[in-house]
Amino acid sequence: MIKKRFLFYTILLLVLFLLAIPKIWFNSNSQVQQKSKPMPTQVGLYKIQARPLEKSIVVAGELHAMNEVMLKSEANGRVTAVYFKEGSNVSKGQLLLQINALDLQAQLKKVQSQCKMKELTLNRAKLLLKEGGISEENFEQVETEYLSAQADVELIKEQIKKTQIFAPFSGTIGISSVDVGSYLTANSAIVALQQTHQLKLDFAIPEKYAALIKPNMEVSFATESSAQQFQAKIVAVEPAIDANTRNRNVRAIFQNHQQACVPGSFAKVFVNMALNKKAILVPTICIVPILKGQKVYVAQGDSVVNRNVVVGERLDSMVEVVEGLKDGESVVYKGVIQLKPGSKIISK
């Protein structure tokens, strides 16, 4: 009887064990699946809102006088008079300096008297030619001598003019290199003359922006001597790009009526290229460098996808995306390193 009871309980336990195996196996698999399922990554999202962006660059420039020249002597001789003061303003055509011309003036009187005699001889020859008193050949010889005498007079007059230095344009005189009594030779430097009520601003634009520069555009600039920004207007653009620098040379004009700027000054030039009214800007940390360009992670529901982008202007903490993103999309700016395409995310 006891054996039968023992056998009965043994069989019962075996049946219960066999019935419990599938349930144990199912619960075990469920726990493994739950453990292997990845947890969503906490990220920070930036929602794109298109906004105006003014594209501008900063380049180096230099200021020059509108007109500037170093006045030099064209003749040899001693300075007899100086008619200008250093640092003063002079007018166009004003006499600035006189070199001794007494010998030339004496020569002029001599050739003028000779020319007068040749003129009288020519007049008598004309009368004789009409009456047949001289041949045509003799008359032509007399006429040639008179014309030669006239040329001598003009030559001496031009030599005398070279002993006088006149202002070629209105402007400001610089520091003189000569005094009364100084002996000058041809090409000796005398003094600089500059016209500063207008200044030329010369600068160069990188090839990337060369096609955007047009005459009549306005630029801003600042100098080391002033915190103020000034405005200048572009008047000329070099037709071609410089083969050595890959830049395009540009010239603007600044109205320097208040003498606020000095020729020769270095200038920091601010050039506004264009205004993009609907620029797509994202935080710089959103951009992920890849082998051939850049990408960002774009949120789609509870996961992310990667998107190749083309960047444009770079600001302090933002970057312009010219291709790859649309207004209203959200990109990941925090937790980027932990992501891969298809990753599940939770926005903080």
Say which range, 15-19, 54-58, 168-172, 230-234, has the weakest mean pLDDT: 15-19
Residue 68 tokens read as 């500037």
Instruction: Report how far Cα 65 is from the mean position of its chain's Cα atoms.
Output: 18
Residue whose C-alpha is closest to residue 257's, from 61, 66, 60, 62:
66
Q: Looking at the structure, do residues 91 and 167 belong to the same domain, yes or no?
A: yes
pLDDT tens figures, 264-294: 999 999 998 777 888 999 999 999 998 889 9
Confidence (pLDDT) at 168:
95
Q: Looking at the structure, do residues 186 and 225 belong to the same domain, yes or no?
A: no
Q: Which long-range contacts (CB under 8 A, 24 or more apart) does 141-146 make?
A: 142/118, 145/118, 145/121, 146/115, 146/118, 146/119, 146/121, 146/122
The last residue of one of the domains, among 190, 212, 239, is 190
The last residue of one of the domains, among 275, 301, 332, is 275
The reply to whether 36 falls in a domain is no
Q: Looking at the structure, do residues 221 and 186 belong to the same domain, yes or no?
A: no
Reply yes or no on whether the pLDDT at 73 is more than 70.
yes
CATH of the domain at 156: 2.40.50.100
Residue 146 tokens read as 């008179």
Residue 257 tokens read as 């009526």
Confidence of residue 245 (pLDDT cuts 50, 70, 90): very high
The reply to whether 202 falls in a domain is yes
Say which range, 30-34, 119-123, 234-238, 317-321, has the weakest mean pLDDT: 30-34
Confidence of residue 26 (pLDDT cuts 50, 70, 90): very low
> What is the DSSP secondary structure assignment for residue 284, as one 8-state letter?
G
320, 312 contact by CB (below 8 A):
yes
CA distance 287 to 342: 18
Reply yes or no on whether the pLDDT at 116 is more than 70.
yes
pLDDT tens figures, 295-305: 999 999 889 99
Q: Looking at the structure, do residues 123 and 219 belong to the same domain, yes or no?
A: no
